[in-house]
Structure 1
């Protein structure tokens, strides 16, 4: 059964995290499998150059759609705390403002992407032979991005209501539809990159249709016209908290630009394709840790809003413990099975030779990343925008980007791969320091209800 919003403050933390995290993990798993199989299909049926093209385009579309995720997470933090404080009207008004902001910003971004498509693709690393398949994939996908943005926004609100199973279904639907449509459009109809893009856009729309159905028939948040009136105080709060997520995705986009250009300089289209496989595995393999993090957010946010600080502290320690164990298991699987994993993606001998060791290096510090992810998520759930922003940006922004700019000058392609675990270790140390200090000051010595 789904968890109602009031049960977020009464059920045991372990039960809540299971009920929130398991559906979130399953949903992220299907989304990751979708991206993974999409990459396998284009690699096997179109070629390794197609993997490089998809690796260039996806960060652009994710950057635009992350507007929805940013506004969703920012608004959902407000909604969770408002429901915890029994302020339903504020929750409703927040949701109405989220919808208008997401739709408006996504449409503006899409028009800009269409008008400056060549410039945007070149910026993100569509160098040499990558440009033609990248453009063929980019334009059709761009038309589906507003639906994706609304899906990402709506999904976080569904979890904030305490209904993670519906959020899970919303992520499963586009995964299944995209895989089926890939087979039809790429394999059977031989539409190449255009077919892959069309399948992706249609799957975004199907996800949107389900989420629309949920909010019309199943949601506790029944909106009226008055809730769509823009409230600049709420907009400011949504923006300040949502900026954390958007800034993270913005930094990921900058990282993608630097990575694609650096990899092209030191290894050509071949190395861009290698990272294309690694990045898909990063999305796929870490799904349980991301699921625990997503499940943690509404639990921590609701109880923080209800001033039940002991429950917040328990949710932090339990989430880190569970996510840490899962991350260690994932690392061991990658360590042992790197070669057969890579062989699924491509028949290219050079890619099969280079990618396994690179994959192991990139995942080397994954057993400790739970501290960084849960720590940054806590500050976001608690509505503390500035520390949430800074901690969210530590890995990619403060450490990984500078390392990638420096280390390849001395160590070539190896310098790119080794930058990832170094950034993981440094960002975890920083996050652990601030999280421990916050727990000692705010949570450990606080009494529930005060």
Structure 2
């Protein structure tokens, strides 16, 4: 991790993460397609349910990133005992929080989906889809956590096996339960619940048998300092994914007055956008363990070189995706729902988002590097900018303002995300520039340290 050529190393770790994310997104798109065959209200239910899935993902990433960031730095320092404790506390903490979400969610499911923006026609379908998913919430949060913990040990291939197996099984099982068994949207949720449980079991075995440090309940001994490290490392992920759930809910609520077609269209665009996002997140996930190990070992130049390599690759990926998505926007939206209103609303939203899609490569790499190096405040700010600090107010403000200029209010919802992307890059550039300057100072200081020690030794001999 600290000696191998940098670019091949990052690519070797990134490819399994990218494959995992793409397969997971493919499942999400397939699920959207299957449910789209059932009706517009069912498609809208997916957008509502996505808010809950984002919360579960936020919890999983909180513990996976929080424990994993510190774990990789401890491994860089060759402190395996503490790394093993971080692994155990993060894993069991994730399971406990997932169980809490399951109890609270199932106890208040109907008012929950209404609060997330469901109309009266969408709400029954959202309840049917979410019920089996909430029942296995500890497995969902645990899977996301173990995925992160394996990656930060440099074991991306193992995490890929668990996630890809579950996603491929889901793609096969969903149509059987939805159409073959006649379970409809409940069958889609049940298929996801079964396959998430299978992924959890596979990843748990990997953590116990194949980890650099092995998962063991005996190592689950939290103390104040260890918990603070996990919270500090995981808080940016919790905020980033938590505000993502809030943002999806706000988009649903803002689109609610425009009917089921608007909610369904924005849900479909969100799923399509995840395809490009999954690739850059996967590349960032390949960079994170390299960043953690090398930062822990004091090899700051390798950290900086890895960051800029990631920015270049992510920007190229997003620029290509933007061209493809923008040129095929009506066809892509129509693939998931052939309702003309859904296609018209979704195509415009997707084309507008493609205008600024490419800037998210820098935003993502800046956020991940800050988080991995333990810069909690900066990483948290960057984590909430795009969908929290900017998208949430914009999705309410723009529909209210645009009619005064003769533009339709719906356009405000469609253009809120690209405006938020521009504002986010304006914040992330100066914050990341400051971090990179500290790496330069740290690298220079480390390079001068032998020279200063030599001078000190010479002065001592003279005295």
- TM-score tier by shorter-chain length is over 0.9
The answer to whether the 8 A contact 1:312-1:443 is kept is no
CA distance in 1 between counterparts of 2:423 and 2:101 reads 34
TM-superposition CA deviations, 1:318-368 (whole Å, max 9, x none): 100111111100101011111221221112122223321221112220111
Relative distance call for 1:355 and 1:65 in structure 2 (3 A) is: closer
The question of 1:170 aligning with 2:170 is answered no
Listed as ranges, the gaps of 5+ residues in structure 2 are 403-408, 450-463
The answer to whether the 8 A contact 2:54-2:242 is kept is no
User: Which of 21, 29, 41 is 1:28 aligned to?
Assistant: 21
TM-superposition CA deviations, 1:384-440 (whole Å, max 9, x none): 111110111111122111111200113311011111111111111211111112112
- Whichever of the two has the greater Rg, that structure is 2
C-alpha displacement of 1:38: 0.2
User: Which of 351, 357, 373 is 1:360 aligned to?
Assistant: 351
Q: Which residue of 2 aligns with 1:273?
A: 264
The question of 1:134 aligning with 2:131 is answered no
Q: Which residue of 1 aligns with 2:454?
A: none
TM-superposition CA deviations, 1:69-88 (whole Å, max 9, x none): 11110110000000001110
The question of 1:338 aligning with 2:315 is answered no
C-alpha displacement of 1:224: 4.3
C-alpha displacement of 1:444: 5.6
The answer to whether the 8 A contact 1:310-1:444 is kept is no
CA distance in 1 between counterparts of 2:370 and 2:310 reads 14
Q: Which residue of 1 aligns with 2:400?
A: 409
The question of 1:71 aligning with 2:67 is answered no
The question of 1:229 aligning with 2:221 is answered yes
Deviates more, 1:166-175 or 1:196-205: 166-175
CA distance in 1 between counterparts of 2:357 and 2:95 reads 35
Relative distance call for 1:393 and 1:122 in structure 2 (3 A) is: same
The answer to whether the 8 A contact 1:65-1:146 is kept is no
The answer to whether the 8 A contact 1:286-1:330 is kept is no
TM-score, normalised to structure 1's length?
0.95
C-alpha displacement of 1:131: 0.8
SS in 2 for 1:141: helix
Q: Which residue of 1 aligns with 2:361?
A: 370
The question of 1:326 aligning with 2:323 is answered no
C-alpha displacement of 1:232: 2.4
Count of residues in Structure 1 that have an aligned counterpart in Structure 2 = 441
The answer to whether the 8 A contact 2:323-2:354 is kept is no
User: Which of 415, 423, 435 is 1:426 aligned to?
Assistant: 423
The question of 1:11 aligning with 2:8 is answered no
Q: Which residue of 2 aligns with 1:310?
A: 301
C-alpha displacement of 1:223: 3.9
CA distance in 1 between counterparts of 2:190 and 2:442 reads 55
CA distance in 1 between counterparts of 2:183 and 2:110 reads 22
CA distance in 2 between counterparts of 1:155 and 1:443 reads 32
Listed as ranges, the gaps of 5+ residues in structure 1 are 1-7
C-alpha displacement of 1:445: 5.5
Q: Which residue of 2 aligns with 1:212?
A: 204
Q: Which residue of 2 aligns with 1:439?
A: 436
Relative distance call for 1:336 and 1:65 in structure 2 (3 A) is: closer
Q: Which residue of 2 aligns with 1:348?
A: 339
TM-score, normalised to structure 2's length?
0.93
SS in 2 for 1:230: coil
Superposed CA RMSD: 1.4
The answer to whether the 8 A contact 1:17-1:299 is kept is yes
TM-superposition CA deviations, 1:199-256 (whole Å, max 9, x none): 0100101101110221232222124454112222111210122121111122112112
TM-superposition CA deviations, 1:141-183 (whole Å, max 9, x none): 1112211110100001111111111112222112111111111
CA distance in 2 between counterparts of 1:93 and 1:43 reads 45
CA distance in 1 between counterparts of 2:199 and 2:215 reads 20
User: Which of 52, 55, 59 is 2:47 aligned to?
Assistant: 55
Deviates more, 1:252-261 or 1:89-98: 252-261
CA distance in 1 between counterparts of 2:394 and 2:345 reads 21
Relative distance call for 1:361 and 1:225 in structure 2 (3 A) is: closer
